[in-house]
Structure 1
């Protein structure tokens, strides 16, 4: 059986064989490419050789890595020329040749870009921004001034020092009532697990974070304190309005307790991290243009079919309506805005019924779901049914298909042939050679790890004979 590497099977030959695969899927794993080479030729090549071949294939398909930096200003300028409203903030540093300043060149530092279609779209989205822990908020000011100038934006992130410092540097612009910074409950629970190593208490902390009323929070928080007072002292160091939904006045989170939604961005840009920088910017332009077109067509078709709300909202409403039919309603004012309802509780709660107050004028229900989710809970549906009032008027506009269509209404403009671009007379752009990946040795991952990467159920390795844990 032939299973060893072959000297003639070098990185250049492998590059030619895998180029089509890499061009189609730039994020393809090296292990998959190794298997592909073995399937074709019967030889198992080294990881390093295939990794080098993949870099050559990426360069052949998407351009040279170093030259890509020099192409970046021209492409960004073309975007601003042909896609009106494109926002670009390119920051550079002086370039030196030894002790001497290079006057016609600059070192790339960082870049922020956003398209006018995305800026316009955010006006109709939930006023919530989720920041992944691996994203360094270097251009927070550009984000807040150009993309999200609305007041009351809720930012959800982990407690990474760089993110905190970015918010502090903006001062009033990132403080209430201009903006609200809260924490992801999964990151809170991961930090808690690292400190106390108790799965059951970690589960309780997550459940407490999701509770929607202060009464429920106090009850479960008291149980946690009785179980481990040190754990509650640790939690007391974090402001409750930062991690507990019960203290989220005004429902600014819209029931978003984690930064999981940031993964949608990762999905749209999947594979672009391994591309040269100009190819990465181009990828965001082409992929978002395709996404806006596809989503806009879908929303338009749903509206034409007579739908008013999204399918997810209607499913939630139907589930609440099934329970609302067994709720007893009392009306307390002539304007039909104040109610008290009695709901039969399941036997395991040890009580016959629960009483909730409702004020439709204030969009308030004692259960907390009405103000948290921004659409009618089962108690509000029961009150609306009691007085034959349409519940649709108590649904936030973000759930309406007309609003969804407005998100994707503005389409992208095509960029013309390079011959029609405005001439670029700025300095040449160079990469920072200090940040270049070493060319020798097995490549290391550049992904930034945090507490979410800690495996809670990992078992320590044991010796084969005595089965004792290795130290």
Structure 2
């Protein structure tokens, strides 16, 4: 610095103004005036890096009067050069600079500019002025009217500007580096010298992504938190050196050699199963049934690599785990979920039972669903169960109602290990207590005759009317008695709404097949035939998962009904070869369809048409929009994120014991031939196979014995069928969890609105000594003389009719 000050001291202020030029810049944007120690220090800082700087002396203030837009286009030949780029040697004896105190300087040596001097480990070579311009930015405003404007940056993401240093040597200098933005640059990384990374993890991810994107095998030769070196193959010159920079406290690209001489790779170590899962997790979220073959095509199209089938399978498994969560971890979160459910929805129930510290049963019901069922739905409950297709399996038991639009309405559900009488009994008992059902007489239960369900309903809902789903009844019927004629006749018997019609259809079934008739005779008709259904619940549905537009259907069927008015609302209706009496005032109809459903049948609609009455006006009130709004007038509040759940610290819940079965797990159950509807290809179920070699039956060419005798016999591989294992049916007692709810509780559940309105027509509970009224009634009956019952029952009437027919 001393020689520089001596040179500048040779130009007094009266001699002229002194300027210096930034290396690689022009007069319009690089000329700086030297008028203070700060401006001198700015120039001195750059001297060790560029060694030669240009100085200019303005004797007549020419630079202040020049138009700088014109200067940028002209040559600076007219300005005299005071100092050239040639190296100068200065003798210490000729200088007036005193040595700095505390430093020893040899008086015999001259102070020369060392050509081998290196200021930094990563010094820029000659001709790399553009590197300095991109990394160093100097701001200096001259005292004259000339103002040099520096380029502005639109956003902070383009580069990192270091704050001004308080040191005199670095005063006025800002360093500018380009940042690596992972959200934008990670998909296609491009490295540059001076690029900054936040940490070593980001550098490793960028190098791996670069390797996958360019299909080159890059290896880490040095991999630490503060220094990372990566190289390509030995015959390739590609190299990247990233190290920590003290100026930014970040990792910076110190050296980068671009360009590959190696061949592209088809298999890369960085294309791991986890990498594929993270990249294509959204694709599996949209299509969770994507096959490995389709997945392989997607990977090859986008990345142009061919990973193995096992790696693709592991990637799909990890993606599914990220989407649906870890099954084992979810079992241990049930305590916290139950508490969150009761907190967000007061009145909801969540019961969890363990057996040997493993999951056994779980019951869930929402308070909004229970209140909606009791307020706006009819007292009929449909029970069904299905398999859970997860690793640990299980069965899902459901209880649903029917809303005013004849669609399903959820009430409660449970997850059990095995579908059995014990599991169904536990579920029905919990449901009964949850809905506060004391008198089961007004309720109707429809089941699908699953394993253990019928005796469980008989035990827990002993006074309820029990019905069977005809579709499930036909599945068992179809195993023994096949044919479309028998199927249609079975449905005709189930749809019979009167006893004479039921007798007629049963006789027709007897004429078609006596064995099928005997099979149906063993099933009680009040459980699957409309003629014996109770008209109290106003529902004649034969399936536990179906709905249809009944009013529109009956209007279309009324075109064949011809009426004959008898006066006072009484009509005689002729429908084809049958005649019916309809009394609109007394609401008596011989076909019983209006009584069963609450919806006018086609005979009643023909009578209402003559009375100028719309069919919608006489439909039962429990099909109205008011009841529909009552059923859905309660909200199911969403639960918070699982990070906000209260930790219950309950006993650890382990999943059920998993036993892997032989073979590939099935995605879908094997459907029966009558279940396949709407297909484009006919099923080959029941078709006899013919051999193309010997024209034999029930074998093909591969298994033909005659062909094997003619040629050499081949080895046959036989596989044994897996053995079935059944779970334990012993259950723990029900475990109740205290409800610490912070929301407003709506109080106890109300009584069913339908039952309260039609209490007189409902089935009364049996008289027992448990109540005062029951004990008093029993004492009165004992005091009164017994009367003989002279009214015949329905069974006796049927027997008498059969005897008369035989005679």
Q: Tell me the alpha carbon deviations over residues 59-97 of structure 1, each in whole angstroms, 9 at most, x when there is no partner.
A: 223432211111111011111012111111211112xxx
Q: 1:175 aligns with which of 430, 448, 462?
A: 462
Correspondence for 2:495 = 210
TM-aligned CA distance change 1:227 to 1:241, over 3 Å: same
How far the C-alpha of 1:373 sits from its partner, in A, is 2.5
Contact 2:468 2:527 in 1 (8 A): yes
Q: How many residues align?
A: 383
Taking the TM superposition and a 5 Å limit, the aligned residue runs for 1:297-376 are 312=549, 315-316=552-553, 318-319=555-556, 326-331=562-567, 336=569, 339-345=570-576, 351=577, 354-360=578-584, 363-376=587-600
8 Å contact kept, 1:128–1:154: yes
Per the alignment, residue 431 of structure 2 pairs with 143
- The structure with more helix, counted as a fraction of residues: 1
2:535 is aligned to 250
Distance 1:50 1:402, change over 3 A: farther
Gaps of 5+ in 2: 1-265, 387-396, 398-418, 677-682, 701-807
Q: Does 1:234 align with 2:522?
A: no
State the shift of 1:405 in Å.
Answer: 1.5
> What is the RMSD computed on CA atoms of the aligned residues?
3.6
Pairwise CA distance, 1:232: 0.8
CA distance in 1, matches of 2:468, 2:684: 24
Question: Given the alignment, which residue of 190, 196, 206 partners 2:481?
Answer: 196
- Secondary structure of 2:571's aligned partner: strand
Partner Cα separation in structure 2 for residue 252 and residue 470 of structure 1:
55
Q: TM-score, normalised by structure 1?
A: 0.70
Aligned to 1:35: 294
Residue 159 of structure 1 and its aligned partner are, at CA, apart by 1.7
Matched, 1:58 2:320: yes
Task: Report Cα offsets for 1:405-429 as digits up to 9, x if no partner.
Answer: 2221111224346576444132121
Paired position in structure 1 for 2:244: none
1:427 aligned counterpart, secondary structure: coil
Q: Does the CA contact (< 8 Å) of 1:155 and 1:181 recur in 2? A: yes
Once the two structures are superposed, what CA deviation does each residue of 1:171-219 show, in whole Å capped at 9, x if it has no partner?
A: 2x4123xx22211111211211101233321221122212222222211
Matched, 1:125 2:377: yes
Shift of 1:37: 3.0
Q: Which residue of 2 is the match for residue 445 of structure 1?
A: 666
Q: Contact 2:555–2:602 at 8 Å: present in 1 too? A: no
Q: Which runs of 5+ in 1 are unaligned?
A: 95-105, 265-310, 346-350
What is the alpha-carbon distance in structure 2 between the residues aligned to residue 319 and residue 251 of structure 1?
26
Candidates 604, 622, 628, aligned match of 1:380: 604
Q: Confirm whether residue 19 of structure 1 aligns to residue 284 of structure 2.
A: no
- Give deviations 1:141-192, integer Å, cap 9, x for gaps: 2223324837533222222222124324xx2x4123xx22211111211211
Name the structure 2 match of 1:430: 654
Matched residues in 2 for 1:222 and 1:321: separation? 27
Contact 1:119 1:148 survives alignment (8 Å)? no
CA distance in 2, matches of 1:24, 1:107: 33
Residue 698 (structure 2) pairs with residue 469 (structure 1): yes
CA distance in 1, matches of 2:643, 2:330: 18
Encode CA deviations 1:117-144: one digit per residue, 9 max, x unaligned: 1111212124333333534435122223
Check conservation: 1:363, 1:394, Cα contact below 8 A: no
2:445 to 142, 155, 161: 155
Aligned to 1:75: 337
CA distance in 2, matches of 1:390, 1:64: 57
Distance between the aligned counterparts of 2:671 and 2:607, measured in 1?
Answer: 46
Selected match of 1:459 from 660, 683, 686: 686
Larger mean Cα displacement after TM superposition, 400-409 or 379-388: 379-388
In the alignment, is the contact (CA less than 8 A) between 2:331 and 2:654 conserved in 1? yes
Q: State whether residues 295 and 312 of structure 2, in contact with CA within 8 Å, keep that contact through their aligned partners in structure 1.
A: no
- Cα deviations by residue, 1:424-445 (Å, 9 ceiling, x for unpaired): 132121112x23546xx65323
- Give deviations 1:345-369, integer Å, cap 9, x for gaps: 2xxxxx4xx3212344664311232
SS of the residue corresponding to residue 225 of structure 1 reads helix
What TM-score does the superposition give when structure 2 sets the normalisation length?
Answer: 0.43
Alignment of 1:287-302 (within 5 A): none
Q: CA 1:231–1:426 in structure 2 vs 1: closer, same or farther (change >3 Å)?
A: same
